[in-house]
A and B are shown apart, each in its own frame.
Chain A
C-alpha cells in the first residue's frame, strides 16, 4: 500500500532563516506531487505541483520554491522566511490524475 511521509511534524523558525520541508511517497512510482499551505482557520492554497522529476509548476509567486530531486521526493524551501509563511504545510500525491492523498502535514511557526 502507498504511504506519504512529511517531516518535520512541527517547526519553529525565526524570520529570515532558511526552510526545508520534505515529503516522500512510498509504494508507487511516478506520482504527481503537490504542496499546499493552510493558514490558520482558512482553506487550502496550492503552492506547487510536479508531474515528474525536475518538473515544478508554481501556482502562487512568493519567496518559496520547490524541488523534486527523486521520483518520490518533493522538497519545499525558502532562503529567508517571512512571518506570513507561518501555516500548516501539506504534501499530497496522486497517480494517473485520480484522487489525491495527503500527508500528515508540517506545522510551521515563524517568529
Chain B
C-alpha cells in the first residue's frame, strides 16, 4: 500500500542555517503531496502542497518539489528562524482517492537555536 517515510529527528540547527527534511513516498498512480507543520500544543497547519510531478510548493520561505523519478518531496528553507521550531509532517493523498484520506509520515521535529 501507499506509504510515506520521513527522516528521523530531532533536527537541531542554528538560526539562519539551511534546512532540509527528507521525505520519500511509495504510491501507485499520481498522488498529491503535502507538508504540514505542528507547533507545540496546536493542530496541524498546511504548509505547502504539490499536485503533480515537477510542481514546486512554497510558503513562508519553505519549498518542496514533487520529484516523481525519485519519489521524493523534500522540504527546504534557506534560513531558518527560532520560530520555525515545530514538528513537520509529510503526507500524500492517493490520486484515486475519493475520500480525501491522507497518509502521513511519522513527523520530524525541528529545533532551531538562537
Interface CB pairs A-B, < 8 A, 21: A32-B99, A34-B101, A42-B106, A42-B107, A43-B89, A44-B44, A49-B100, A94-B100, A97-B98, A98-B100, A99-B32, A99-B46, A99-B49, A100-B100, A101-B46, A102-B43, A102-B44, A104-B42, A104-B43, A105-B41, A105-B42
Q: Do residues A46 and B43 form an inter-chain contact, with CB atoms below 8 A? A: no
Closest chain B residue, CB of each to CB of A101? B46
Chain B contact surface mostly = loop
Q: Do residues B45 and A102 form an inter-chain contact, with CB atoms below 8 A? A: yes
Task: Fill in one digit per residue for A91-111: 1 if any B CB lies within 8 Å of its CB, else 0.
Answer: 010100111111111010000
Q: Do residues A44 and B104 form an inter-chain contact, with CB atoms below 8 A? A: yes
The answer to whether A53 has its CB under 8 Å from any CB of chain B is no
The answer to whether A64 has its CB under 8 Å from any CB of chain B is no
Q: Do residues A90 and B44 form an inter-chain contact, with CB atoms below 8 A? A: yes
Please indicate the chain B residues that have their CB under 8 angstroms from the CB of A34 in the complex: 100-101
**B residues neighboring A (CB under 8 Å):** 32, 34, 36, 41-46, 49, 89, 93, 97-102, 104-107
A68 CB to nearest B CB, Å = 14
Q: Which 7 A-B pairs have the closest CB atoms?
A: A102-B43, A94-B100, A97-B100, A43-B106, A102-B44, A32-B100, A105-B43
Contact A99-B43, Cβ < 8 Å, known A42-B106, A43-B106, A44-B89:
no
Q: Do residues B102 and A100 form an inter-chain contact, with CB atoms below 8 A? A: yes
B106 CB to nearest A CB, Å = 4
Task: Fill in one digit per residue for A58-95: 1 if any B CB lies within 8 Å of its CB, else 0.
Answer: 00000000000000000000000000000000101010
Q: Do residues B100 and A46 form an inter-chain contact, with CB atoms below 8 A? A: no
The answer to whether A51 has its CB under 8 Å from any CB of chain B is yes
Closest chain B residue, CB of each to CB of A6? B43
Please indicate the chain A residues that have their CB under 8 angstroms from the CB of B97 in the complex: 97
B46 CB to nearest A CB, Å = 5
Contact of B43 among A51, A94, A103 (CB under 8 A): A103
Please indicate the chain A residues that have their CB under 8 angstroms from the CB of B34 in the complex: 99
When chains A and B are docked, how far (Å) is the Cα of A105 from the Cα of B41? 8
When chains A and B are docked, how far (Å) is the Cα of A102 from the Cα of B102? 12
B2 CB to nearest A CB, Å = 13
